[in-house]
Amino acid sequence: MRKSDDYDNVYMKDERSKSVEGFIAALEIFSKYLKDGMKETFFFGAGHDILYIWVENDAVNEEEAITLSRLGWHPSSDGGSWAYFT
């Protein structure tokens, strides 16, 4: 288990967490882990009030996982995506 799996200890809101700038910053991080990077066409989904990016939780490095957490994203319980509550 990675240290960042304990998100209570690393979660400190980034002032960009609800902004376009923060959303784009998160997408830039996720694009590093998508097969076609920024050209990927099928990489997200939505359910009621949650957005999902289909990047494996453990694929994201420690530093970027912390940044994503501070931007309001969290790893999903199934391990296959990151989620953001709108």
pLDDT digits 0-9 by tens, 20-68? 999 999 999 999 999 888 888 788 889 889 999 999 989 999 999 999 9
pTM of the model: 0.79
pLDDT at residue 3 in the model: 45
What mean pLDDT do residues 4-11 have?
Answer: 50
14 has a pLDDT exceeding 80: no
- Of residues 12 and 25, more confidence is placed in 25
What do you get for the CA distance between the two ends of the chain, in Å? Answer: 28
**Angle at CA of residue 65, ends 16 and 51, nearest 5°:** 65
Question: Which run of H or of E encompasses 65?
Answer: helix 62-70
35 DSSP 8-state letter: T
pLDDT at residue 12 in the model: 65
Closest CA to 82 of 48, 47, 49, 44: 44
